[in-house]
Amino acid sequence: MRLEPVAFSRWDAVHAALCVATPTAIGAAIGHGADASLIALGALPAIIGDRTGPYRARARSILLTVATGVVGFYAGMLIHDIGMSHSWAAHGLLQAAILLLSFIGTFGNVASAATLQGAVYLIVGWGLALPPPEWRAPLLLAAGGIFSVLLMAVHWLRHPGAAERGAVAAIYQQLANVLDASGTPRVRLARRSLENAIAAAYDTLLTARASTTEGWDVLERRAAEILAAEPITSAVIGLVQGGQPLPASLGRALYGIARQIARDQQVDVSTAVAAANNHPAPALAAALHRAEPLLTGSAHAAEAPLIALARHRARASTVPQWIPKWPWPDVWRYLLRIGLCVLVAQVFISLTALPRSYWVPLIVVVIFKPNYGSAFARALQSGAGSIVGVAVSAAVVAIDRNGWVSLAVLVPLAACLPWALRRNYGLFSALLLPILMLVMGALQPGSQDIAVARFVDAVAACAIVLLVGYLPWAKWERRQLDERVATVLDALGRYAALADTRDGDAAFGARRAAYKALDDARIALQRALSEPPLVSRRAARWWPALVGLERVANAITDIVPQGISHDAAVHPGAVVLTRMAAAIRHGGPGPEMPAAPVPGMDPRLEEALRAAIGVLFGAAQAPA
Q: What is the mean pLDDT of the chain?
A: 80
Residues 346 and 252 in one domain: no
* Confidence label for 544 from pLDDT (cuts 50, 70 and 90): confident
Check whether the bond before 231 is cis (ω within 30° of 0): no
Q: Examine the domain organization and report whether 544 and 567 are in the same domain.
A: yes
Residue 88 lies in a domain: yes
Residue 5 lies in a domain: no
Domain identity same for 120 and 176 = no
Same domain, 186 and 90: no
Q: Which of 377-381, 507-511, 540-544 is least confident? A: 377-381
Is 289 in the same domain as 342?
no
Q: Is residue 520 part of a domain?
A: yes
Which range in 138-152, 219-233, 560-574 is most confidently predicted, on average pLDDT? 138-152
Confidence of residue 574 (pLDDT cuts 50, 70, 90): confident
Place 119 in a pLDDT band, splitting at 50, 70 and 90. Answer: very high
Q: 239-245: which pairs have CB atoms within 8 A and are 24 or more residues apart?
A: 239/179, 239/182, 239/281, 239/283, 239/284, 240/178, 240/179, 240/181, 240/182, 240/183, 240/187, 240/191, 241/558, 241/604, 242/182, 243/182, 243/183, 244/182, 244/183, 245/182, 245/183, 245/184
Residue 372 lies in a domain: yes
Say yes or no: 419 and 478 in one domain. no
Q: Are 122 and 150 in the same domain? A: yes
- Which of 71-80, 216-225, 322-331, 549-558 has the weakest average pLDDT? 322-331
In a domain, 189, yes or no: yes
Query: For the chain, first and last CA: distance in Å?
Result: 24
pTM of the complete model: 0.75
Confidence of residue 82 (pLDDT cuts 50, 70, 90): very high
Q: Give the model's pLDDT for residue 100.
A: 94
Query: Is 521 domain-assigned?
Result: yes
Task: Among 443, 470, 497, identify where a domain stops.
Answer: 470
Asked whether the predicted pLDDT for residue 256 surpasses 80, the reply is yes
149, part of any domain: yes
Q: Are residues 215 and 141 in the same domain?
A: no
pLDDT per residue as tens digits for the range 160-176: 777 888 889 989 999 99
Residues 166 and 312 in one domain: yes
- Asked if residue 480 and residue 464 are part of one domain, the reply reads no
Tell me: pLDDT of 624 over 60.
no
- Percent of the chain clearing pLDDT 90 (strictly above): 14
What is each CA distance from 583 to 246, 539, 549, 617, in whole angstroms?
A: 40, 18, 15, 9
The answer to whether residues 21 and 102 belong to one domain is yes
Query: Considering the domain boundaries, does residue 128 fall inside one?
Result: yes
Are 455 and 562 in a shared domain? no
Name the region of 31 (left: φ>0; alpha: ψ -120 to 50; beta: rest): left
Q: Which domain covers residue 279, as residue numbers?
A: 162-316
Residue 436 phi/psi, 5-degree rounding, is -60, -40
- Where is the domain boundary, 252, 286, 316? 316
pLDDT digits (tens, 9 = 90+) for 272-320: 888 888 887 888 888 898 888 888 876 555 455 555 555 554 444 434 4
pLDDT in tens, 453-504: 777 888 888 889 889 988 888 787 788 888 889 999 999 999 888 766 666 6
Domain stop point among 448, 470, 492: 470
**Quick check: 92 pLDDT over 80?**
yes
Among candidate residues 6, 11, 8, the one with its CA nearest the CA of residue 153 = 11
- Residue 476: its pLDDT value, please? 79
